[in-house]
Structure 1
Amino acid sequence: MDPTSTGGIEYEKVDKDYFENRQLKRGAAGWLLLVGLGVAYVVSGDYAGWNFGLKQGGWGGLFIASILMATMYTCMCFALAELATIAPTAGGGYGFARRAFGPWGGFLCGIAILIEYAIAPAAIAVFIGAYCQSLFGIDGWMVYLGFYVVFLGIHIYGAGEALRLIFAITALAVIALIAFIVSMIPYFSVDRLFDIAPTDAVGASAFLPHGYIGIWAAIPYGIWFFLAIEGVPLAAEETKDPKRDLPRGLIGGMMVLLMSCALILVFGPGGAGSAALQDSGNPLVAALESPNVFNGPTFVSRFVNFVGLAGLIASFFSIIYGYSRLVFAMSRAGYLPRVLSLTNKRQTPYVALIVPGIIGFLLSLSGQGDLLILVAVFGATVSYVMMMASHIALRIREPNLPRPYRTPGGLVTSGIALVLACVAVVAGFLVDPRVVIGAAVVYAIFIAYFAFYSRHHLVAAAPGEEAPAVL
């Protein structure tokens, strides 16, 4: 290899076989599959995880936090839709930040997304265990391992097959959400939203039982309603027409998620009571079987429980897809060990699927789904800051850059998302600072790896890279 140094970054030439062994399957997804992928990334957030925000902020705190995060994600999706048409590579946010801030920016953003996407399946695996316990009386490491093995295997088999299966599972999960909402409507009572007793915190009331600080503490769980929708651009290299399909997939998926968030947040606690759901691992089933609703198992609760498992699987399955494409892109460019970007005969990045999967499985053994959410949210919010800063920087530095899709509102839209993302970064410290500090330490270790090793071994001519002296 012939290394060339530029600005403290060193690039190496590779032979033609390098990229031939690192190819994804083109044309595997159209815009409708991308909408399904966007919803699939997130739909598990409707089935479990959001309700822990009731414990942190009460219904009012979670309600306000969810409105703020819905605003952030909506603005962010509009900005990402523009960025995705500028740099449509499998790296998603890593590619956007790389274009705006160079290799250091790309690495910092990419690793933050990797923390989010590697940890989120571990949290979802814990919730899958809770649903399996309710349905079949089994939980624990065997459940987690079984789901990891089966769905990693499907992904390794082929991208097109995986995306179509994700779409089918997601459609079923959405049907179950509709069944849940329709079943809860007759039992709705405003009083049940506010049945958590107020504390002595500043600003505490029936609406905000944990005071004003509860709003901030509930933000990570408001994020859980939307976490990972930003992963749609990770499918760029397997999309038929990325400049048209990626904006449609992002915005279409976000519209579905906004509706599901609003309905679940109102009719779940409004039927069963906020206090009854604040600690539940499967809150939709707990709501249906609560004394205020059906007071025990029914056909509807078992249907939602069974198909709710499908909803969790949809997110588990799709986020595995997302992290594998991110790891593939960063490894192919040399930011991560290059072996991680190898693809098989069916053009799937099998090493990038397996290695983070093993790490996620080991973390799921903690059984602490609520704390794993905090780690995932830390990575996510750091990446949001980087991506929105990338949108602003590219608008200012390269105003004439071809943009097949332009963000409505321009810098104002991405600026709103940036401010809210900065607020969200800090929110996790209010819930459990030790967990967030631990995530920050892991982030720092990755940064050290880049500073001392991989920035000296980046790959010239990798998609999204710029090494003029080599090229």
Structure 2
Amino acid sequence: MTPPAGTAVLCGGTAESKEYFEKRSLKKGSVNWVLLMSLGIAYVISGDFSGWNYGIGYGGWLGMLIAFLVMGAMYLFMVLGLAEMSSAMPAAGAGYGFARRAMGKVGGALTGFAILIEYTICPAAISTFIAAYVHALGLFSDVPSAAIIGFFFIVFVGIHLIGVGEALKIVFGITAVAMVALIAFFVGIAPHFDAANLFNIAPAVDGGTTLLPFGLGGVLSALPFGIWLFLAVEGVPLAAEESADPKRDMPRGIIGAMLTLMVTGALVLILTAGGAGAEFAGTAAAPLVDALNEVGEGPLATFVNYAGLAGLVASFFSTVFSGSRQAFALSRAGYLPKFLSVTGSRKTPYVALIVLGAIAFALAAIVQNGDILLNMAVFAACVSYAMMNLSHIILRKKEPDMERGFKTPGGIVLTSISFALSLVAIVSTFVVDAFAAGCTLAVLAALMVYFFAYSRKHLVGNAPEEEFAALKAAEAELG
């Protein structure tokens, strides 16, 4: 894309040379819609195996079901908006690029930094779950968790360094194994389903009932756990620059992934509690495996236990990918130090992969608590959701004639609902873990201080995401 005359002035930044971008280019045409769909499922699939079930402990089964439906609606409506925006503006910056065009540099920075925090913390959190899972299987019991975490970072960051096509094909294979484990669980637990098991938690607070043992407050507390069943699916557009046909592939990939995750999420929620009981499911460390053991399906539980590790690996692997692409895009445009966006001969952002991998490993080794880390990631994610939904609303109103490969059904109605729900979700993260949400807010504030103090004066006016905004400004000026 060649920027119009005056682009650098319009964007308030400098125009970099052709050589600058040659050193910061991704491999185009490496990913089709099937791999994008697999990537979207991989982001989330670990959430089906663990973590979500604690929402039953906070809100009861019906409270968790409400949380699942409400947060599922938030994600579905947002994903439809993202499908539209990514087909119109296919760039590695994704959400940051959308917000940059809709709300200017400040909105772009806030959105991009929130997404970056989410995808830096997610692999740190998941790596702690992987280490715990490995030890729970009786494997490498004498090896410290930090060493297991370090091994996974070295191996899977290394695979990403080889190339995006190779990496996402591996993700596809790992995700397929995890899906087989889920299907095995569904088949094994279904004969033991009893609707009475869904409501076997006694009322626990004043005003609590058999249906909602923790009252309406429990429903609010369960919302972040509803998010766990969809968290990070919004990362699919970060692969836009590596897609073969982004106008067609991005909508197919992200919507296909979302619909699949809605089905798997509903089934694990209904069958786990319906088979082993809501009270049991709400406290289980490994809900699917523990539920199978509880109903006497021990051999199948062992298979799901081992195969389920693939779900954690798939989510770890895919979030490492997305964190590197968000850092790449922000760095290429000058929002982060520019060395982070340098790519190697394999056209992968190797500096961003190594730096973010080191930060995530340090977080996992120091904090050593996946629940705290995941709650931190959820807060950052919810901030980005609010900003991305708002971007869709603004762009639909300000630029109705923008060329779009896909249009969101219902226009801004659905993304307006998702925007409102994302604000509720932000509040709910403080209800569940104010410390984790507060820590993430502090990191986000520090990055915005860096933006205002330094990077906003050193932006790259002809970076792809900045060009989208420049074209809008140029068209307005000509008009």
Q: TM-score, normalised by structure 1?
A: 0.95
Q: Which residue of 2 aligns with 1:236?
A: 240
Distance in 2 (CA, whole Å) between partners of 1:283 and 1:200 is: 25
Contact residue 39 and residue 318 of structure 2 kept, 8 A: yes
Moved runs in structure 1, 4+ residues, more than 3 A? 3-7, 466-471
CA-to-aligned-CA distance 1:363-400 (integer Å, 9 cap, x gap): 22323222222111111111111011000101111111
Q: CA deviation at 1:5?
A: 8.3
Q: Which residue of 2 aligns with 1:272?
A: 276
- Gapped regions of structure 1 (runs ≥ 5): none
Residues 1:320 and 2:320 aligned together: yes
Q: SS in structure 1 opposite 2:215?
A: coil
| Pairs within 5 Å for 1:68-467 | 68-137=70-139, 138=141, 140-201=145-206, 203-290=207-294, 292-294=295-297, 298-365=298-365, 366-466=367-467
Distance in 2 (CA, whole Å) between partners of 1:232 and 1:106 is: 18
Q: CA deviation at 1:59?
A: 1.3
Contact residue 272 and residue 293 of structure 1 kept, 8 A: no
Distance in 2 (CA, whole Å) between partners of 1:361 and 1:194 is: 40
CA-to-aligned-CA distance 1:27-68 (integer Å, 9 cap, x gap): 111111111111111111101111121222121211110000
Contact residue 217 and residue 431 of structure 1 kept, 8 A: yes
Q: Which residue of 1 aligns with 2:477?
A: none
Q: SS in structure 2 opposite 1:23?
A: coil
Q: CA deviation at 1:442?
A: 0.8
Contact residue 91 and residue 326 of structure 1 kept, 8 A: yes
Contact residue 12 and residue 461 of structure 2 kept, 8 A: no
Q: SS in structure 1 opposite 2:64?
A: helix
Q: Which residue of 1 aligns with 2:16?
A: 14
Amino acid at match of 1:15: S
Q: SS in structure 2 opposite 1:323?
A: helix
Distance in 1 (CA, whole Å) between partners of 2:290 and 2:117 is: 30
Quick check: which one's helix share is greater?
Answer: 2
Distance in 2 (CA, whole Å) between partners of 1:266 and 1:362 is: 37
Greater shift in the superposed pair: 38-47 or 351-360: 351-360
Contact residue 95 and residue 388 of structure 2 kept, 8 A: yes
Q: CA deviation at 1:126?
A: 1.9
Greater shift in the superposed pair: 52-61 or 31-40: 52-61
Q: CA deviation at 1:355?
A: 1.3
Greater shift in the superposed pair: 81-90 or 277-286: 277-286
Amino acid at match of 2:187: V
Q: CA deviation at 1:123?
A: 1.6
Q: CA RMSD in A?
A: 1.9
- Gapped regions of structure 2 (runs ≥ 5): 1-5, 475-479
The number of equivalent residue pairs is 463
CA-to-aligned-CA distance 1:218-262 (integer Å, 9 cap, x gap): 111100100111111000000000000000001111110010011
Q: CA deviation at 1:172?
A: 1.2
Amino acid at match of 1:17: E
CA-to-aligned-CA distance 1:64-90 (integer Å, 9 cap, x gap): 100001111111111111011111100
CA-to-aligned-CA distance 1:131-157 (integer Å, 9 cap, x gap): 212213436212211111110000011
Distance in 2 (CA, whole Å) between partners of 1:339 and 1:195 is: 56
Q: TM-score, normalised by structure 2?
A: 0.93
Distance in 2 (CA, whole Å) between partners of 1:111 and 1:60 is: 35
Q: CA deviation at 1:6?
A: 5.5
Q: Note closer, same or farther for the CA distance 1:468–1:130 as it changes in structure 2 (3 Å cut).
A: closer
Q: Which residue of 1 aligns with 2:38?
A: 36
Residues 1:26 and 2:28 aligned together: yes
Amino acid at match of 2:442: V
Contact residue 85 and residue 98 of structure 2 kept, 8 A: yes
Greater shift in the superposed pair: 274-283 or 380-389: 274-283
Greater shift in the superposed pair: 379-388 or 272-281: 272-281
Contact residue 7 and residue 462 of structure 2 kept, 8 A: no
Distance in 2 (CA, whole Å) between partners of 1:259 and 1:250 is: 15
Contact residue 52 and residue 370 of structure 1 kept, 8 A: no
Distance in 2 (CA, whole Å) between partners of 1:130 and 1:270 is: 26
Q: Note closer, same or farther for the CA distance 1:255–1:5 as it changes in structure 2 (3 Å cut).
A: closer
Distance in 1 (CA, whole Å) between partners of 2:351 and 2:409 is: 39
CA-to-aligned-CA distance 1:344-368 (integer Å, 9 cap, x gap): 1101001111112112112223232
Greater shift in the superposed pair: 279-288 or 446-455: 279-288
Distance in 1 (CA, whole Å) between partners of 2:272 and 2:338 is: 46
Amino acid at match of 1:359: I
Contact residue 48 and residue 127 of structure 1 kept, 8 A: no
Distance in 2 (CA, whole Å) between partners of 1:18 and 1:444 is: 29
CA-to-aligned-CA distance 1:118-137 (integer Å, 9 cap, x gap): 11111211221222122134
